[in-house]
A and B are shown apart, each in its own frame.
Chain A
Amino acid sequence: MQASRARLFKEYKEVQREKSADPDIQLVCDESNIFKWTALIKGPSETPYEGGVFQLAFAIPEQYPLLPPQVRFLTKIFHPNVHFKTGEICLDILKNAWSPAWTLQSVCRAIIALMAHPEPDSPLNCDSGNLLRSGDLRGYRSMARMYTRLAATPKKR
């Protein structure tokens, strides 16, 4: 309990210190609860998610960093490894491949990498996975791009 709090506090300071280090990631800690974080990540370029800003919700267990944080997309995203309704993410480092050496920041980076390299063989979003597995790259891309436009593009004007 105390260890996780201390570690999260250190991570918080790190994030504050290197705010501009990674412009694609913006990690914000809940003002009243250090175990709740949100992150805004930019969709990687040359993917259907380009131009979108996706919000992630972190729920951090008290055993952190021995246990991984629970991360899910708050923003709708059409991706084979993200549950379309709940936003749950199927990512090994959030499950059994977690290492205490990871940080919230590195988790965000891993999720960005997952967006760029979907893994259709372990799909949470079957529609998306099926499109990719059947080789319908154009179908997948257009669907993903559409949802990026609908849900993840910051409203201008």
Chain B
Amino acid sequence: MHDAMANDSSVSASARDFAKKRRVNRSAKLKQCKLDARREQWLSQVKGKSCKVTPMASPPTSSSPPVPMPRPQSCLHDSDMVFASHSPTSNSPGKPPKVGCCPNNSVSSGGSTRSCSLSASDGEEEGARGEENSAIDDWETIADALSAYKVNDGCHPSCDTRGPFVESRVPPAPVNDSGTRSTMNPEPTRTIPRAWRPDDEFRPQSLPNLYKQQSFPANMERHFGAKGWSHPAILSAPSSCPICYEDLDPTDSSFLPCSCGFRLCLFCHKRILEADGRCPGCRKQYSPVEGEMLGMSGVKPLLPFQLSRSYSMGSRS
């Protein structure tokens, strides 16, 4: 099932290692992006003297990624999303800095940082590998924390403009110096700047969730434990057939022949059908038709997975 999802999002078979590598890259890159963003902001401040906001206003934005930062703000306000899109334009080197409109400045660093974090997810090969990522273990949380911080700023309403928003989603990597270029297909979905509220349908559903689920089993347990999803999850956990002990391939692992949830490989299932035809899990007779239907619905856990995922996000906030 995981493999299917990974393939959907055009990631090759070694999704797990890939995910880990990407996570490391991503967080390292995020950090670098933040540094870049801050430097840029300072430069622009020097350039446009009209800025009234003290430079001190920005460091907390980027240097304190408090993981427990509450999410509710970020899901209540739409407007902070616009910042993410708006600020990069003011920061991007090619364009005249808009820092002149003063209160925007402290926000812009956060905004560009966040867009960095967005665009950083695509570049995998390049740079910043050596940087430690101990402080930042979750780029998503940081993004949310940033947005939450900005909401608290209370200066955003003046800057709400729809134009830059649309504009910035076309060039997905406004911050060029970070060396990030769009290389992945799922990238557009992910760089839509507003895709960060739990209830947002544009929230990057495919890859990050998958990675999280694979790399944070403990979290997954905590978030999903109480939901109905956990049942098939646990039962689908075995990577090998409990009958022949051979590894389950993706077809096998999406094969759910019995309503009791007992999984086995197709080969053993066929052998059992030729023998007494009873499910090894519950010892009830396999009914071929029902088994077929359930086998089809073996793909179904994807849906509860996504639903419960968003639910868990909502409950956390």
Q: Which residues of A contact B (CB under 8 A)?
A: 3, 6-7, 10-11, 63, 65-66, 97, 99-101
| Residue B268, interface by CB 8 Å | yes
Q: How far is the CB of A153 from chain B (nearest CB, A)?
A: 36
Q: How far is the CB of B54 from chain A (nearest CB, A)?
A: 63
Whether the pair A100, B283 counts as a contact (CB closer than 8 A) is: no
Chain B residue contacts of A97, Cβ below 8 A: 283
Tell me the B261-317 residues at the A interface (CB within 8 Å). Answer: 262, 267-268, 271-272, 275-276, 278, 280-281, 283
Q: Is the interface of A mostly helix, strand, loop or mixed?
A: loop
Interface size class of B (residues with CB under 8 A): 10 to 19
Please give me the 4 A-B residue pairs with the lowest Cβ-Cβ distance, nearest first.
Answer: A10-B245, A101-B280, A99-B280, A100-B280
Cβ proximity bits B243-263 to A, threshold 8 Å, 1 near / 0 not = 111100000000000000010
Chain B residue contacts of A7, Cβ below 8 A: 243-245
Whether the pair B271, A3 counts as a contact (CB closer than 8 A) is: yes
Complex alpha-carbon distance, A63 and B280, angstroms: 15
Complex alpha-carbon distance, A7 and B264, angstroms: 14
Whether the pair B272, A100 counts as a contact (CB closer than 8 A) is: yes
Q: How far is the CB of A112 from chain B (nearest CB, A)?
A: 21
Complex alpha-carbon distance, A11 and B283, angstroms: 22
Q: How far is the CB of B275 from chain A (nearest CB, A)?
A: 5
Give the residue of B246, B271, B283 whose beta carbon is less than 8 angstroms from that of A99. B283
Interface core residue of B244, B271, B276 (most chain A CB under 10 Å):
B244
Whether the pair B243, A100 counts as a contact (CB closer than 8 A) is: yes
Give the residue of A6, A66, A101 whose beta carbon is less than 8 angstroms from that of B275. A66
Give the residue of B246, B271, B276 whose beta carbon is less than 8 angstroms from that of A6. B246
Q: How far is the CB of B279 from chain A (nearest CB, A)?
A: 8
Chain B residue contacts of A101, Cβ below 8 A: 242-243, 262, 280-281
Whether the pair B245, A6 counts as a contact (CB closer than 8 A) is: yes
Q: How far is the CB of B269 from chain A (nearest CB, A)?
A: 10
Whether the pair A6, B281 counts as a contact (CB closer than 8 A) is: no
Q: How far is the CB of B138 from chain A (nearest CB, A)?
A: 35
Whether the pair A100, B268 counts as a contact (CB closer than 8 A) is: yes
Tell me the B31-61 residues at the A interface (CB within 8 Å). Answer: none
Interface core residue of A10, A66, A100, A101 (most chain B CB under 10 Å):
A100
Chain A residue contacts of B278, Cβ below 8 A: 99
Complex alpha-carbon distance, A6 and B247, angstroms: 12
Chain A residue contacts of B275, Cβ below 8 A: 63, 66
Select from chain A the residue with minimum beta-carbon distance to B268.
Answer: A100
Q: How far is the CB of A145 from chain B (nearest CB, A)?
A: 35
